[in-house]
């Protein structure tokens, strides 16, 4: 018996990919990002996943400036888990693509939302909230504490994870109470945030993970990479087939004689 999807797991790593191109108004920041992530943040994120899940994973990269942001119906249909990193260009993501991603999540595709993705259109749409929070990019040390030690996403990382420098993200963080809270972070300045949050929506599984910023080498951190890989594995579809949840008129006794829904 297995509830696992057939190997390999098909992961699409989505990246806004603007800082890396020197394509934002923040020249200094762009230069920093290019230095930290010379092959793009997507490359760091993807390689972290591969480190842990290879060879049972097959990764595709998609970025904002590709046609349809690289997220065509065909790509999504072949994606088991999508990871999302965006920052300065949330508004440029087309509503049509956002709706398409939402449909796939509700139909069973996994979604791992990273850091500033909290304010992305897709996360806001799936949560119903703004994802707003306090922030400060001043080299705070981040400590990531496990509050759900038997959760699969928390396996294999120390307690706490120590990230020498990261952007501060602090409460109140405008999200629904997570279905399962896995990590809580504190920063040097004293702020805290619910940093590892599990949500189930429709047939899909969603994980939000707050560590990770373009201005710090967070996606090179071995424990951060492990958490993201764990999350990707956890978010893999549970059901064999993907499909929408539709409103259905059901006759009395529709489920008798073995006519139940698979």
d(CA 161, CA 106): 31
Q: Please give the C-alpha separations between residue 163 and each of 49, 79, 130, 145, 156, in angstroms, as whole numbers.
A: 18, 30, 26, 11, 16
Residues 130-189 that bind a second copy (CB under 8 A): 130, 132-136, 138, 140-141, 143, 145-152, 154-156, 158-162, 168, 170-174, 176-177, 179-181, 184-186, 188-189
Neighbours of 67 (CB within 10 A): 7
Select from 38, 65, 200, 243 the one that contacts a second copy (CB under 8 A): 200
Residues 105-124 that bind a second copy (CB under 8 A): 106, 108, 119
Residues 216-245 that bind a second copy (CB under 8 A): 229-230, 233, 237-239, 244-245
Q: Which residues lie across from 168 on neighbouring strands?
A: 136
Report, in Å, the least distance between residue 67 CB and a second copy.
Answer: 26
Q: Applying CB under 8 A, what is the total number of residues that bind a second copy?
A: 88
Report, in Å, the least distance between residue 219 CB and a second copy.
Answer: 17
CA 137 to chain centre: 21
Residues 49-108 that bind a second copy (CB under 8 A): 52-53, 102, 106, 108
Report, in Å, the least distance between residue 258 CB and a second copy.
Answer: 8
Residues belonging to the chain: 262
**DSSP label at 148?**
-
- If you search the block for the tokens 């349809």, which residue do you land on? 68
Nearer to a second copy, 24 or 155 (CB): 155
Report, in Å, the least distance between residue 203 CB and a second copy.
Answer: 5
Long-range contacts of 248-257 (CB under 8 A, 24+ apart): none
27 forms part of the interface with a second copy (CB under 8 A): no
Report, in Å, the least distance between residue 188 CB and a second copy.
Answer: 8
Nearer to a second copy, 21 or 238 (CB): 238
Q: Which residues, 6+ apart, have CB-to-CB distance to 97 below 8 Å? A: 68, 69, 71
Q: Please give the C-alpha separations between residue 150 and each of 36, 157, 183, 201, in angstroms, as whole numbers.
A: 33, 12, 12, 22
**DSSP label at 42?**
H
Among 36-44, 84-92, 197-205, 213-221, the segment contacting a second copy (CB under 8 A): 197-205
Nearer to a second copy, 33 or 126 (CB): 126
């Amino acid at each position: 018996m297995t509830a696992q999807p057939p190997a390999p797991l098909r992961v699409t790593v989505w990246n806004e990919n603007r800082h890396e191109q020197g394509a934002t108004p923040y020249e200094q920041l762009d230069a920093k990002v290019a230095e930290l992530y010379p092959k793009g943040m997507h490359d760091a994120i993807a390689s972290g996943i591969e480190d842990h899940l290879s060879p049972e994973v097959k990764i595709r990269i998609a970025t904002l400036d590709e046609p349809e942001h690289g997220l065509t119906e065909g790509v999504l249909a072949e994606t088991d888990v999508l990871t999302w990193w965006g920052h300065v260009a949330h508004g440029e993501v087309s509503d049509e693509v956002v709706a398409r991603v939402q449909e796939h999540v509700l139909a069973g595709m996994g979604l791992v939302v990273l850091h500033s993705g909290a304010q992305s259109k897709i996360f806001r749409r799936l949560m119903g909230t703004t994802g707003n929070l306090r922030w400060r990019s001043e080299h705070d040390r981040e400590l990531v504490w496990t509050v759900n030690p038997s959760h699969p996403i928390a396996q294999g990382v120390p307690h706490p994870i120590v990230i020498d420098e990261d952007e501060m993200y602090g409460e109140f963080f405008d999200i629904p109470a997570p279905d399962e809270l896995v990590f809580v972070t504190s920063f040097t300045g004293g702020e805290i945030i619910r940093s590892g949050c599990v949500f189930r929506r429709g047939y899909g599984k969603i994980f939000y993970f707050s560590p990770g910023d373009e201005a710090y080498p967070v996606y090179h951190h071995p424990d951060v990479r492990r958490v993201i890989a764990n999350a990707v594995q956890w978010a893999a579809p549970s059901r064999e087939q993907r499909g929408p949840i539709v409103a259905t008129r059901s006759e009395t006794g529709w489920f008798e004689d073995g006519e139940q829904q698979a």
